[in-house]
Amino acid sequence: MTKKIFFSAFFSFCLATLSFSQLEKTIHQTFDVSQSNAISFDLVSDSTVIVPWAGNNVLTETKIELYDASPSILKHFIEKDQRYAIQADSTSGVFRLSSVKMKREPIRTKNGECYENVQIRLFVPDDFELQGKNKLVRVDEN
């Protein structure tokens, strides 16, 4: 009888470790915009929200939810593939934030396609104002 219980418990444990659930990770990046009067952004996400704050840098908060994948898959896409990384470029005179990976192919495992939800919050200095859908301009307080 104890052998049956032991094998049932062991089998249940093995099944539980093989099934994947929701994985969640939040990545923060900061960018110095003290010398910039305008910021444009081109970010790949399911939603992007602009949040004014009292800081003098831009802080990006990328929240990733990945379903039906292992933690090692998520780690690979964050660290090696740079799938969720944001880069800055100021060579054109405008500070530009963009996703490193502008096209994200679906993540597939041997069990099928993984559902992914990416939400980005941009914390921008409160002296910037949104102009259009993807440009922020520093407001002159004079």
Query: Is 11 a residue whose pLDDT tops 90?
Result: no
**DSSP H or E stretch at residue 34:** none
- Going across the sheet that includes 47-53, the strands are 23-32, 57-66, 116-125, 47-53
pLDDT of amino acid 142: 58
pLDDT of amino acid 31: 97
Are 59 and 123 contacting, i.e. CB atoms less than 8 angstroms apart? Answer: yes
Q: What is the pLDDT of residues 16-32, one digit of tens each?
A: 444 557 999 999 999 99
Segment 102-110 mean pLDDT: 93
The percentage of residues in the chain with a pLDDT greater than 70, rounded to a whole number, is 85
Residue with tokens 């418990």: 9
- Going across the sheet that includes 135-138, the strands are 86-89, 95-99, 38-42, 135-138, 128-130
Q: Is the whole model's pTM more than 0.85, yes or no? A: no
Q: What is the pLDDT of residues 40-83, one digit of tens each?
A: 999 999 999 999 999 999 999 999 999 999 999 999 999 999 99
